[in-house]
Amino acid sequence: MTYFENSGIGLQKETVEEQNKIQTTNEKELILVSSLVLDLIKNDSDQALIQLSSIRNDVDIVAPILWYSTGCLAALLREIISIYPFLSPPTLTTKQSEKACLALSLFQTIASNQETRTLFLRSSIPLYIYPFLSSSHKSPSFEILRVTSLGVIASLVKTEEDNFVNFLLSTEIIPLCLHAMEIGGEQEKIISTFIILKILLNENGLTYICETYERFLAVSSVIGNMVNYLLEEPSIELLKHIVRCYFRLADNSRAREALKQTLPQPLKDGTFIDLIGNDTRILKWLNLLLEELEL
């Protein structure tokens, strides 16, 4: 062990103490998370969900413990499924929505963790979230549910691996994202556009979207509508994703030809100059896009 290799006694002692401290914190965390997970499984879920959700980003072991504890995923799914009956007709209460969002936030932790992400994908559990995305209701309880659900998918697409795009394409997430881009508020538009962007940035994703003119048109016209939305509700974050989506679409030759005719006017005439301010990256992408399209 390295302790014996250290020459300075003081350093040695510190290292051992440090080590012990780390160990006890880890053990304490382990016990805390495990007991909360047990409460969750035992159907005593309200407090357990709140507490697990509040520590989920600070404690690394939350994702693997949630994943590997027998009955835990079933308990989380129970929270998700229990509100299906209230989606249509739309009778979901704020309290129900908040509780489902806590469960979703734990799914997001599983989706963000390198160890559990692929397992989560392979389990097809993300599919249970899709019914929330097809709702169209604009009340806060529905909107927060869609935003949180999209957050789970967005965590999945943050990886560079290929498999997530194939999964998402095979499960028809694109129409759901387009729906969210159309009906959502700023946050919902930003996350769903980010997911589309990540799909486009993948080779298979770009090919899939540009495979038929109908698909290309569906995607580009929803993005085009968001450009008009930006005229009323400026959002630099959304503009950034939009410009990058167009820029990436232009990598496909047929899409490039189509965009030469259909790129929205406000992107061509400097309408967003004030919004862009001194964000040189967006300016660079926009200029490259216009150059690429010979506009």
Of 10, 2, 72, nearest in space to 38 by CA: 72
Would you give the binding string for ligand TRP spanning residues 198-217, x where CB under 6 A is met?
A: -----------x-----x--
Q: Does 196 bind ligand TRP (CB under 6 A)?
A: no
Contacting residue, 36, 103, 174, 243, with ligand TRP by CB under 6 A: 174
Query: Closest separation between CB of residue 189 and ligand TRP, Å?
Result: 17
Contact by Cβ (8 Å): 208, 215: yes
Instruction: Please say which residue, 175 or 266, places its beta carbon nearer to ligand TRP.
Output: 175
Which residue type occupies 215? R
d(CA 135, CA 285): 34
Instruction: Please say which residue, 209 or 289, places its beta carbon nearer to ligand TRP.
Output: 209
Q: Does 38 bind ligand TRP (CB under 6 A)?
A: no
Instruction: Please say which residue, 63 or 199, places its beta carbon nearer to ligand TRP.
Output: 199
Question: Locate tokens 């998370």: which residue?
Answer: 33
d(CA 96, CA 93): 5
Other C-beta atoms within 10 Å of 107: how many? Answer: 28
Helices (runs of H) and strands (runs of E) counted in the chain: 19, 0
Instruction: Please say which residue, 109 or 202, places its beta carbon nearer to ligand TRP.
Output: 202
Question: Locate tokens 């309880």: which residue?
Answer: 141
Compute CA 28 distance to the chain's CA centroid, rounded to the nearest angstrom. Answer: 30
Q: Does 49 bind ligand TRP (CB under 6 A)?
A: no
Contacting residue, 64, 131, 175, 266, with ligand TRP by CB under 6 A: 175
Query: Closest separation between CB of residue 68 and ligand TRP, Å?
Result: 35
Query: Closest separation between CB of residue 215 and ligand TRP, Å?
Result: 4
The encoded tokens of residue 51 equal 């507490």
Instruction: Please say which residue, 137 or 215, places its beta carbon nearer to ligand TRP.
Output: 215
d(CA 214, CA 48): 46
d(CA 277, CA 81): 45
How many positions of this chain bind ligand TRP (CB under 6 A)? 7
Contacting residue, 172, 203, 279, 291, with ligand TRP by CB under 6 A: 172
Q: Does 78 bind ligand TRP (CB under 6 A)?
A: no
Query: Closest separation between CB of residue 165 and ligand TRP, Å?
Result: 12
Contact by Cβ (8 Å): 30, 61: yes
Would you give the binding string for ligand TRP spanning residues 217-256, x where CB under 6 A is met?
A: -xx-------------------------------------
Crossing angle for the helix pair 94-112 and 45-55, nearest 10 degrees? Answer: 50
Site for ligand TRP, rule CB under 6 A: 172, 174-175, 209, 215, 218-219
